Amino acid sequence: MRPAHRIENPTAIDEVKGMALPSIACARITGSAVLALALSAALFLPAYGQSSGDPRLETGWKFDRIALATGKTIDGLILADDGVTGMEFMEVRRLPGKPMNLVVRPIERRMIASVESLNDAERKILRGRLDRFMHRAKFEARRMDDIKLSSQTRDEGRQWNYHGNWFWLESTADEQTSRRAAVRIEQIFTAYRQLLPPQRSPQRHLKIMLFGAEPQYAAFLRGLGLEIANPAFFAADFNIVAAGSDINRFNEQLATTRAEHKAVKDRLDAEFAQLPARLAALAEQMRRKGIAASERKAVIAAEQRRQQERREKLLDDIAQADRRNANKFLQVTDDMYSRLYHEAFHAYLDNYVYPHHEFDVPRWLNEGLALTFEGGQLESDTLRIDAPNRRALRALHADLRGPNPLPLSELLSADADAFLPAHRGGDTAAARLYAYSWGLAYHLTFERSLLDSAAFAEFISPASGKQPAIKRLEHLVGEPLDVFESKWRTAMLKLH
């Protein structure tokens, strides 16, 4: 069962008498959650744990490098250098598996041991990348404005169309979501190109279909005669990526909630504007009843404080609800883009690198690579890979330490249908296969550096695909499966 996302909104606005507060309640809305699968087969990256620590090797980015007198080395961009007292430096900090962050700081000349500077062309490239990173929201908005969309009316509503160089997009989501999807898929395709350069040209256009309502996606699956639980899939025979979401319903409820919040604020403003007159009337009533002036003053002050506190409390409740709803919206959209990225990679691999009619890439390897690079950080159209997939590693550790770990022979012999029930947790057997697929692909990629070897080229050849699965892997790793599996389990359990 997929987790429910909740939109928080006032369910009713009471007639405000004496500044009565409307209640804050919740309306349920169901969204989809899948494992973040933005991945890439980065065959030329250094192994995690074996890297020199040089970010240039890990991303293809080049930086100014400063060796400090303390022995520490920092990478980034020299912003200013007076040649005498010191320089202003933008340090680029990237912890493994964490998003990049930038820190601007002055560095005194006496603290600098040596400087390794970029040339003018390299500095221009880095400035552009850092500027796009710092102003990514603005750059994305500009790209979204530049996207050329056409639209047409279909039985299920309006459809937005985008024809790019890498893919064609058909979307029944709202226009803003469709534009953002086109921009982000273009961005991830650019990252895939840098990590795994295209070697082929597709014979036909790749079509990506984004459904803004899950019933539309379900109807599409029925039309293809498919019965799968996956919220997205890539059909190589049709060269189609399809993904479903409830983004339209979520957007509608979010718009309704915002309108209700605005109505509450407007009502509050109107009532609060009347508060001085109401307090004056209250003061007059107390005067007529003979209440002393000092007591009247205290009562009016207390009532004014009470109404102010109630107003501030409601505004704070609304602000907090808006923040939570914004975070839930990000979660829903991130889930949607994650599944698009995942299936788009399968499509990229099949269209531009290893077409299925020329190569035989085992399903476990294809999915394992997906999970291996899921945690990559997308930074200015490049994908940085420098840490294991935490979720996959946690799941694998739990299974390996359990009473009945999955034998690799079962993973190797699993057919494609065994991976279909869900990308994430909905099916225990499938989830287990995904965790082991990640562990095996990660080990072959980073611990044994086999994916750019001649043995790997032979491993994915059609002739190799005709061999028994166990013998095929044994030939790749150069040892019997039982020997390899023992070493692999030890390596996985030591991995942090």
pLDDT in tens, 203-243: 889 999 999 999 999 999 998 888 777 888 998 889 999 99
What average pLDDT does this structure show over 423-441? 80
**Highest mean pLDDT (candidates 234-238, 261-265, 331-335, 477-481):** 477-481
Write the DSSP assignment of 40-92 as a string of letters: ---TTSPPTTTS-S-HHHHHS---EEEEETTS-EEEEEEEEE-SSSEEEEEEE
What average pLDDT does this structure show over 451-471? 92
> What is the model's pLDDT at position 488?
97
Q: Could you tell me if 45 and 431 are in contact, meaning their C-beta atoms sit under 8 angstroms apart?
A: no
Q: Is the pLDDT of residue 411 over 60?
A: yes
Q: Residues 151-184: pLDDT tens digits?
A: 998 776 889 999 998 899 999 999 999 999 999 8
Write the DSSP assignment of 407-472 as a string of letters: PHHHHHH--GGGG-S-SSSSSHHHHHHHHHHHHHHHIIIIIS--TTSHHHHHHTSHHHHTS-HHHH
- Mean pLDDT check: name the lowest of 27-36, 223-232, 273-282, 435-444: 27-36
Structure-token match 């476990």, residue found: 364
Pairing of strands 207-211, 168-171: parallel
Taking all residues of the chain, what is their mean pLDDT, rounded to a whole number?
82
Residue 354 dihedral angles phi and psi, to the nearest 5° = -125, 75
Distance CA 48, CA 58 (A): 10
Both tokens of residue 250?
A: 């979520």
**Highest mean pLDDT (candidates 15-29, 152-166, 411-425, 462-476):** 462-476
Q: Is the pLDDT of residue 16 over 90?
A: no
What average pLDDT does this structure show over 353-358? 90
What are the helix and strand counts (H, E) for the chain? 16, 15
Helices (H), 49-197: 55-59, 120-134, 136-146, 175-195
The ranges assigned to domains in the chain are 63-117
Choose between 155 and 24: higher pLDDT. Answer: 155
Note the pTM of the prediction, 2 decimals: 0.70
> What is the model's pLDDT at position 373?
67
> What is the model's pLDDT at position 134?
87
Choose between 419 and 412: higher pLDDT. Answer: 412
Residue type, 236: A
> What is the model's pLDDT at position 41?
30
What average pLDDT does this structure show over 400-420? 93
For residue 177, how many other CB atoms are within 10 A of its CB?
22
> What is the model's pLDDT at position 290?
92
> What is the model's pLDDT at position 376?
67
> What is the model's pLDDT at position 137?
80
Distance CA 242, CA 169 (A): 10
- Mean pLDDT check: name the lowest of 34-43, 196-205, 288-297, 390-399: 34-43
What average pLDDT does this structure show over 304-315? 91
> What is the model's pLDDT at position 334?
80
Distance CA 88, CA 319 (A): 38
> What is the model's pLDDT at position 40?
29
> What is the model's pLDDT at position 132?
85
Percent of the chain, pLDDT > 90?
A: 45
Q: Residues 103-151: pLDDT tens digits?
A: 999 999 999 999 999 999 999 999 998 988 888 888 888 888 898 999 9
Q: Which CATH architecture has domain 63-117?
A: Roll (2.30)
What residues contact 486, with CB distance under 8 A and at least 6 apart?
Answer: none
